[in-house]
Structure 1
Amino acid sequence: MSQESPTTTAEVPPSILRRAIGASAIGNAVEWFDYGVYAYLTVHIAASLFPEGSNGVLYTLVGFAISFLVRPIGGLFWGPLGDKIGRKRVLAMTIILMASSTVAVGLIPSYTTIGIWAPVLLYAFRMVQGFSAGGEYGGAATFMAEYAPDKKRGFYGSFLEVGTLTGFTLGNAIALLLVNTLDDGSLQSWGWRLPFFVAAPLGLIGMYLRSRMEDTPVFRELEAKEATEEVKGVFKDLITKYTRPILTLFGLVIALNVVNYTLLSYMPTYLQTTLDMKESDALLVPLFGQLAMLFTLPFFGALSDRVGRRPMWLFSCAALVVAVIPMYLLIGTSLAGAIVGFAVLGMLYAPQLATISATFPAMFPTIVRFAGVAIGYNVATSLFGGTASAINEALIDATGTNLIPAYYMLGACVIGIVAALFLIETKGLSLRGTEVPGTPESVEEQKQLAAERA
């Protein structure tokens, strides 16, 4: 009778698996808490850190985009490092950098105090945040995927995005509380700074959780076999040898993050600056939809373990193509219409969000998994995700068309449909080995690995 190796993910004790989920998700929560606070308090950050009379909102959104333009550099640095020294060590470093730069934004003196140095410091700290985030997401997704049991990778992986939406919703709730308790003068002078300081304890908790974890079983197995010696130089062939997964990932991330940042990050600004909704209502709109998404993510993750990742992506992108324009028209009618329209779009988007960490890491072999996800994800995110708010705002100003965000999301989802058609289905497959999961080469390799365990 065969006996599985203790390095297989299926044999990870439940207590360790829960700790791995927490250690992965906390970093995403810190990252998205920062994005949420920054997005939801954009108007007040602009009033504090940019000169009066300037287009401070657009310049503040440029600061949001700048952090994403740096993310590919972070991916190029942290990704190969994570494949060389391990996922755990890199994740311990990125969460401290990310939390520190978030806190630093809250400490920047106002424009009236230090002049041009206020926006300069804002952009500098956003660049540090982007550099650290370039390793955080790819590493956290890889860490989660390599710890999760093969048959339940979708379910357990969805909790990474529970962390994402928890951070984002917490940022939303704190911003809403501040807007309803402080006047504009207090918000612009010191109130907007308070949420950024919350990143300090969140970062320390994340560092503690990650320091207590061992590296993933899949990575330790590769280390034990000294496979790193056999695959030296593999990173330089990442683009040429793994062209299909890189391009497929790129297309999926365009759909994912154009919807993500247009819908979740830009919506409050859009409601205030384009539809003239009062700030407290503009912050209330995404809250209900985010909470609904938060509680359904594990369901969609578990569903992907049954039907596969590819059908989930095809359904989500196709449904958004059909619904996005009608829902944006509904959003423009009233507060109730905005809440319903946002919630519908959020729920149609959730099948993508829930399956990221089960889908993306499984597109690459262990030897380049961290690098492949970090680089492919962050290049697409920097070009099409982090710039979404600024692009939408600029195009609305230039064209006067309120449906620009809907058109932008629709185009991105068409690209996502095309990319999903090339996605190799990996539900239930092992992430062990040095071949791309789901390929014929991987099937043969898995047979050899199974024979070794017999």
Structure 2
Amino acid sequence: MMAQQTHPRLNRQDYTTLSLAALGGALEFYDFIIFVFFAAVIGQLFFPPDIPEWLRQMQTFGIFAAGYLARPLGGIIMAHFGDKVGRKKMFSLSILLMALPTLAMGALPVYHQIGIAAPLLLLLLRLLQGAAIGGEVPGAWVFVAEHVPEKRIGFACGTLTAGLTAGILLGSLVATLINTVMPPTAVADYGWRIPFFLGGIFGLIAMYLRRWLHETPVFKQMQQRKALADILPIKAILARHKRSIVVSMLLTWLLSACIVVVILMAPALMQKQHHIAAALTLQANSLATLMLIVGCILSGLLVDRFGDGKVLMVGSVLLGICSWLFFQLAAGSTAALFITYALAGLSVGVVGVVPFVMVSAFPAAVRFTGISFSYNVAYAIFGGLTPIFVTLMMPLTPMAPAFYVLALAAIGFLVGVWLNGRHSRGDVLNEVNA
């Protein structure tokens, strides 16, 4: 059983587990994303001063993207051992693997000190960060889902996803604070290092706090029954769980691309297309991110009450409507910008359903590997290609981002219809309590 309790209440240990998992996830996402908020300064410091600006920008974002490409390998390796030797060990290792490279980034010498070694070391550390985040997110979902009562798995997964989103918001707030209180020269001299040092130190603290977490009851039972995967977990999921992989990858596309377009890309698009002040778009973006956190928790609560299929169908419809209204009306006035962006952020919260579906899709013996493979491969593909695709569509229509999110909402709705139908047919992927 995934959880022996049938009552829906969380006990003190459940809340502790969920809080420490969400805190660690938020800090890891902060560490992973803080790079992008200081990309301009990093580009100036880590590359030769005489290269064209477009090349500097491309190389800087290339190093940022390398973190996404490293996710599948790191995630699959960590998941393999998570299914073989225990969830807790990998859960602690992932945060250490994120904290140490983040600390090292803050201490790196720059180009004028060590030459070409500077960007190469930066790339290496970024790859290590990518490997760590590839293990953290699936590991966290599995860890909390196998700890909490079965009727509260949706809430736990939604809250954890909200925690990851809070890491993005924290990165944005820290970057805003540093750029507000420091002049540009001070930021370039030493200010850009501060958020990396903060992230690394907080990560080590979070790792220390995770000492008080216990191995999941599900993994302990599998050990006692000697029911751990008898073949390579990756081989098992590719041979026996192709349908689960497809569903999980489609939903990861929904999750990754909606956050990339609506949360990460939208402020720059608003500034460029409609000439809205940067400060205004970033304030609205912070509100939208807060609403996304609320939406993730709300989606998780609703999944426990109504089931994943129904919530995904309704949530996808709202996502299509609210995101369309945002891209259509946001430029009309300041009030329209804040109201429509807040609604769009809330509607993107439908992604809080995604981890529930994924932990339901794979049996416990290969659950970590199944989620990690599907999530990380899909994230590497769609997280990386979405900005390129949307940018290429922009000359055709200024509503390209809205059409893209609308297409994702349609995919989410269709997956929701299928999930809802499978319950009535008795055609399940794998029950959550398998």
* Map of 1:338 onto structure 2: 337
Deviates more, 1:285-294 or 1:243-252: 285-294
* Map of 2:129 onto structure 1: 129
CA contact (8 A) 1:176 1:283 kept: no
Structure-2 change in CA distance of 1:403 and 1:274 (3 Å)? same
The whole-number CA distance in structure 2 between the counterparts of 1:213 and 1:102 is 24
Q: How does 1:11-410 map to 2 (within 5 A)?
A: 14-51=11-48, 53-55=52-54, 56-228=56-228, 231-233=230-232, 235-272=234-271, 275-333=274-332, 335-352=334-351, 354-389=352-387, 391-393=389-391, 396=394, 399=395, 402-410=398-406
CA contact (8 A) 1:255 1:412 kept: yes
Structure-2 change in CA distance of 1:255 and 1:96 (3 Å)? same
Structure-2 change in CA distance of 1:60 and 1:335 (3 Å)? farther
The whole-number CA distance in structure 1 between the counterparts of 2:33 and 2:232 is 39
The whole-number CA distance in structure 1 between the counterparts of 2:165 and 2:106 is 22
* Map of 1:439 onto structure 2: 428
The whole-number CA distance in structure 1 between the counterparts of 2:213 and 2:192 is 35
The whole-number CA distance in structure 2 between the counterparts of 1:113 and 1:335 is 46
Among candidates 418, 424, 433, match of residue 422 of structure 1: 418
Number of matched pairs: 428
Q: 1:52-80, CA deviations, whole angstroms, 9 ceiling, x for partnerless residues?
A: 53224443333232211111111221111
SS at match of 2:192: helix
CA contact (8 A) 2:360 2:429 kept: no
The whole-number CA distance in structure 2 between the counterparts of 1:158 and 1:190 is 37
Q: 1:347-406, CA deviations, whole angstroms, 9 ceiling, x for partnerless residues?
A: 111122x2333221111100100000011000000000244345545665xx38544433
Quick one: which amino acid aligns to residue 244 of structure 1?
A: R
RMSD of aligned alpha carbons: 3.0
Q: Displacement, 1:81?
A: 1.0
Structure-2 change in CA distance of 1:132 and 1:6 (3 Å)? closer
Structure-2 change in CA distance of 1:106 and 1:394 (3 Å)? farther
Instruction: Give me the TM-score of the superposition, normalised by structure 2.
Output: 0.88
Structure-2 change in CA distance of 1:417 and 1:50 (3 Å)? farther
The whole-number CA distance in structure 1 between the counterparts of 2:388 and 2:25 is 23
The structure 1 segments of at least 4 consecutive aligned residues displaced by more than 6 Å after TM superposition are 424-427
Structure-2 change in CA distance of 1:223 and 1:108 (3 Å)? same
Structure-2 change in CA distance of 1:278 and 1:100 (3 Å)? farther
Structure-2 change in CA distance of 1:94 and 1:440 (3 Å)? closer
The whole-number CA distance in structure 2 between the counterparts of 1:65 and 1:442 is 35
Instruction: Give me the TM-score of the superposition, normalised by structure 1.
Output: 0.84
The whole-number CA distance in structure 2 between the counterparts of 1:6 and 1:240 is 23
CA contact (8 A) 2:3 2:218 kept: yes
Gaps of 5+ in 1: 428-436, 447-454
Structure-2 change in CA distance of 1:351 and 1:194 (3 Å)? same
Quick one: which amino acid aligns to residue 356 of structure 2?
A: A
CA contact (8 A) 1:20 1:144 kept: yes
Gaps of 5+ in 2: none
Q: Displacement, 1:13?
A: 7.5
